[in-house]
């Protein structure tokens, strides 16, 4: 609807990098880089917890990587066939050189249930749900994945050391950016776009506290910064898609 709307600024959408993934993998013919006008890059999704069964033979990400290298292809990872978590694990496997066995599991509730039952060996869950299940003795968390340079101290609540980001645990290439972008139809007037971008700064300032409370990392970026972030994230997703055999645009 947004792609085909008049570029008069009255029809907009807020989208994440999932829009890129759908195009890169051939599940959508809408080109996120050509069919829209970028207005602003806003907050990122924050932290994703890597959860494993409570009796897993490792307590941190380094131990997991060591075990995975000794058991290539034997670790079952619950994730969608082609979604954000698929690309997150693609980033981790590419950065560490490990080989995992994907098990299609798009729902977080399914991943939580199967982790607690020991039917899968690792999965991405929300930090809040991961902490709740860990406190109940149903699973354990071996780290969190966040955007480049983010530390667990930025989370709105204090968390134990096992929730430190993978970068904090020494894996500098193990990060995953998921930003939110305000987009309009292609061909919007440049002056109008600049004004709309500037207005989003005040929206960010008003909503910063509420965004933090839900685990996202508040943000606002001017047009140049927004474009740089968007292009970097898109290229990163292209690289990951090629490494896991899901790239269809070449």
**Domain map of the chain by residue range?**
13-44+178-243, 48-163
CA atoms within 13 A on the CB side of 224: 0
Q: What's the token pair of residue 226?
A: 């927004």
- Alpha-helical (H) ranges within the chain are 18-24, 61-70, 84-96, 108-116, 127-135, 190-213, 223-243
The DSSP bridge pattern shows strands 48-53 and 139-145 to be antiparallel
Find the helix packing angle between 127-135 and 108-116, rounded to 10°: 20
pTM of the model: 0.93
What pLDDT does 214 receive? 85
pLDDT tens digit at each of 250 positions of the chain = 999 999 999 999 999 989 999 999 999 999 999 999 999 999 999 999 999 999 999 999 999 999 999 999 999 999 999 999 999 999 999 999 999 999 999 999 999 999 999 999 999 999 999 999 999 999 999 999 999 999 999 999 999 999 999 999 999 999 999 999 999 999 999 999 999 999 999 999 999 999 988 889 999 999 999 999 999 999 999 999 999 999 998 6
What pLDDT does 250 receive? 66
Cβ atoms of residues 144 and 100 within 8 Å: no
Q: Which of 105, 115, 53 is nearest to 78 (CA)?
A: 105
Q: Which of 2, 5, 22 is nearest to 13 (CA)?
A: 2
The DSSP bridge pattern shows strands 122-126 and 76-79 to be parallel
Q: What's the token pair of residue 29?
A: 């013919």
- Alpha-helical (H) ranges within 14-107 are 18-24, 61-70, 84-96
- 94 φ, ψ (degrees, to nearest 5): -65, -40
Q: Which of 94, 98, 84, 97 is nearest to 233 (CA)?
A: 84
Sheet containing 76-79: order of strands: 101-104, 76-79, 122-126, 48-53, 139-145
13-44+178-243 CATH fold:
D-Maltodextrin-Binding Protein; domain 2 (3.40.190)
Homologous superfamily, domain 48-163: Periplasmic binding protein-like II (3.40.190.10)
């Amino acid at each position: 609807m947004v792609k085909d709307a008049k570029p008069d600024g009255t029809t907009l959408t807020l989208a994440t990098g999932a829009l890129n993934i759908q195009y890169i993998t051939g599940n959508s013919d809408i080109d996120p880089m050509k069919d829209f006008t970028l207005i602003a890059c806003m907050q990122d999704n924050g932290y994703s917890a890597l959860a494993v069964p409570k009796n897993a033979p490792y307590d941190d990400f380094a131990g997991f990587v060591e075990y995975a290298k000794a058991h290539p292809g034997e670790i079952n990872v619950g994730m969608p066939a082609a979604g954000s978590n698929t690309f997150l694990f693609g980033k981790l496997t590419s950065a560490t050189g490990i080989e995992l066995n994907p098990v299609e599991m798009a729902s977080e509730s399914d991943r939580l249930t199967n982790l607690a039952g020991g039917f899968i060996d690792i999965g991405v869950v929300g930090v809040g749900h991961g902490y709740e299940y860990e406190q109940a003795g149903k699973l354990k968390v071996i780290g969190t994945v966040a955007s480049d340079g983010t530390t667990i101290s930025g989370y709105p609540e204090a968390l134990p050391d096992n929730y430190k980001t993978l970068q904090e645990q020494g894996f500098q290439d193990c990060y995953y950016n998921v930003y939110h972008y305000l987009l309009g139809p292609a061909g919007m007037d440049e002056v109008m776009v600049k004004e709309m971008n500037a207005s989003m700064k005040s929206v960010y300032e008003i909503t910063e506290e509420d965004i933090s409370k839900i685990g996202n990392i508040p943000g606002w970026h001017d047009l140049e910064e927004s474009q740089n972030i968007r292009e970097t994230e898109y290229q990163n997703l292209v690289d990951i898609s090629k490494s896991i055999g899901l790239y269809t645009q070449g």
